[in-house]
């Protein structure tokens, strides 16, 4: 074998090693599962207590300096609004980080569900972001850095709760808009978010996530007739900081009960693990194919492959 091939082989091996090392970090970040910061905060939403007054929406709007809505916050006709041929209720968007929707489960009184970012322990938005614009803070919030966001909107694709909104109307500085748990103004200083503080019904309980889980199960235990025996968000998608208690089955009040219990990143790990393998194995494999496909000159191994002979001999002639 000629010196060129050896040098090429070494170069390829080196490149492969470098690539593997590089991807080692990727793997490390992707591997293992994270179940949330031990001291992370959360909110327990008790839908049996919510009366649909929308004061949380108003408080959020004020706290986050969002534009005034088309209908005032004391207008309850918004509960009758539907979109896309009557199939969709209101959802959080660039102008509202939280909305309350009304559901009428069969044979019961109306149930009001507050929708906002659930602040997952292992957020899909965070793991799908290619510039790491999202951070799960120690306090439990999932916050977003608009300074580095490219605007690919993969987080909106990935979010299993369809939470992030995007300021499409801005031509020069469009950014993702979503609930940030009032991280900058309140949570960082140990204060509950604006929506929790204003709730007149104590439907929202602010506390350490692990305490809230205990409280929730205690409530179910104490009043089994009042609650469905499930704490939505305890296990769903790896666990969320915001969790829900309901009187009606969750699928009747707008929740996706088909979601997996593993965080979204679990779906992607398999693919991510193949990446370093491809980077490491392909160079040698295909360089090997190339060497095998080249015939040694003058051995007379002419078989029935027709026209390509002469040309491949030519290729070899150039190198040996």
Partner 1 sequence: MKSMIKQGVQPVVSHCRDEGDGRRPWSLLDKVLLGLTPRQYLEQAIRNPFNWILGAIFAVGLPLIAYRFLFGLSAVTHSSYDYPWGLFLAFGLFAMVPLSASGFMLGTTVEIFGRHDFAPIERLALLNGLLGYLFAVIYLLVDLGQPWRLPYPMVVAFGPAAVLFLVAWHVATYLSVQVAEVSVSFFEFMGWAGGKRFIRRIAVGLTVAGIILSTLHQGALGALFTYAPGKVHPLWYSAAFQWIHFFCSAIPGGLCMVIAVSTVVKKTMAWRCDGTFLDNLDRCTIGLAKGASMGLVTYLTIKLIGVAHDNEWVYLTTGWGAWFLFELAVGVVLPLALFAWAIHHQRVGLVRLAAFITIFGVVLNRINTALIAFNWQLYREIPHIFEVLICLTIFAIYVVVYRFILYRLPILFTWKAVESEVPEAVAETVRPVRAGGSVPAASAVYRAID
Q: CA–CA separation, 317 vs 309, rounded Å?
A: 12
Q: CA–CA separation, 212 vs 94, rounded Å?
A: 29
What minimum distance in Å lies between the beta carbon of 60 and partner 1?
Answer: 17
Query: In this complex, which beta carbon is closest to partner 1, that of residue 208 or of residue 294?
Result: 294
What minimum distance in Å lies between the beta carbon of 138 and partner 1?
Answer: 19
Collapsing DSSP states into helix, strand and coil, what is residue 242? strand
Query: In this complex, which beta carbon is closest to partner 1, that of residue 49 or of residue 294?
Result: 294
The three-state (H, E, C) secondary structure of 254-289, written as one string: CCCCCCCCCCCHHHHHHHHHHHHHHHHHHHHHHHHH
Query: In this complex, which beta carbon is closest to partner 1, that of residue 68 or of residue 292?
Result: 292
Query: In this complex, which beta carbon is closest to partner 1, that of residue 156 or of residue 215?
Result: 156
CB atoms closer than 10 angstroms to residue 224: 10
Query: In this complex, which beta carbon is closest to partner 1, that of residue 93 or of residue 197?
Result: 93
What minimum distance in Å lies between the beta carbon of 152 and partner 1?
Answer: 6
Provide the 8-state DSSP code for 96: B
Query: In this complex, which beta carbon is closest to partner 1, that of residue 23 or of residue 59?
Result: 23
Exposed, middle or buried: residue 239 (CB in 10 Å: 0-12, 13-18, 19+)?
buried
Collapsing DSSP states into helix, strand and coil, what is residue 186? coil
What's the Cα-to-Cα distance from 211 to each of 37, 43, 229, 243, 305, rounded to whole Å?
13, 10, 18, 12, 73
What minimum distance in Å lies between the beta carbon of 160 and partner 1?
Answer: 6
What minimum distance in Å lies between the beta carbon of 32 and partner 1?
Answer: 11
Query: In this complex, which beta carbon is closest to partner 1, that of residue 185 or of residue 267?
Result: 267
Backbone angles phi, psi at 141, to 5 degrees: -85, 150
Query: In this complex, which beta carbon is closest to partner 1, that of residue 2 or of residue 271?
Result: 271
Bridge pairing between strands 142-144 and 176-177: unpaired
Backbone angles phi, psi at 272, to 5 degrees: -60, -30
What minimum distance in Å lies between the beta carbon of 225 and partner 1?
Answer: 31
What minimum distance in Å lies between the beta carbon of 113 and partner 1?
Answer: 17
What minimum distance in Å lies between the beta carbon of 294 and partner 1?
Answer: 6
CB atoms closer than 10 angstroms to residue 253: 23
């Amino acid at each position: 074998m000629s010196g060129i091939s050896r040098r090429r082989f070494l170069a390829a091996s080196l490149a492969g090693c470098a690539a593997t090392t590089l991807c080692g970090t990727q793997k490390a970040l992707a591997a293992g599962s994270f179940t949330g910061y031990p001291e992370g905060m959360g909110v327990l939403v008790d839908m049996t207590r919510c009366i649909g007054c929308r004061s949380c929406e108003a408080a959020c709007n004020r706290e986050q300096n969002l534009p005034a809505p088309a209908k005032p916050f004391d207008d309850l006709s918004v509960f009758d609004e539907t979109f896309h041929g009557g199939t969709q209720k209101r959802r959080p968007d660039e102008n509202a980080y939280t909305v309350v929707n009304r559901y009428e489960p069969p044979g019961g009184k109306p149930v009001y569900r507050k929708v906002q970012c659930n602040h997952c322990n292992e957020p899909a938005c965070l793991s799908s972001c290619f510039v790491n614009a999202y951070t799960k803070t120690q306090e439990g919030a999932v916050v977003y850095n608009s300074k580095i966001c490219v605007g690919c909107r993969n987080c909106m694709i990935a979010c299993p709760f369809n939470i992030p909104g995007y300021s499409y109307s801005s031509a020069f500085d469009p950014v993702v808009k979503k609930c940030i748990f009032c991280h900058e103004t309140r949570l960082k200083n140990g204060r509950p978010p604006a929506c929790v503080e204003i709730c007149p019904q104590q439907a929202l309980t602010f506390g350490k996530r692990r305490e809230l889980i205990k409280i929730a199960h205690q409530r179910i235990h104490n009043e089994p007739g009042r609650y469905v025996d499930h704490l939505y968000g305890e296990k769903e998608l790896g666990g969320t900081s915001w969790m829900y208690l309901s009187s009606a089955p969750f699928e009747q009040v707008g929740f996706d009960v088909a979601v997996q219990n593993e965080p979204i990143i679990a779906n992607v790990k398999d693919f991510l693990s193949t990446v370093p393998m491809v980077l490491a194995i392909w160079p040698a494999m295909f360089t090997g194919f190339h060497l095998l496909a080249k015939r040694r000159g003058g051995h007379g191994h002419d078989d029935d492959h027709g026209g390509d002979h002469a040309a491949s001999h030519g290729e070899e002639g150039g190198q040996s």
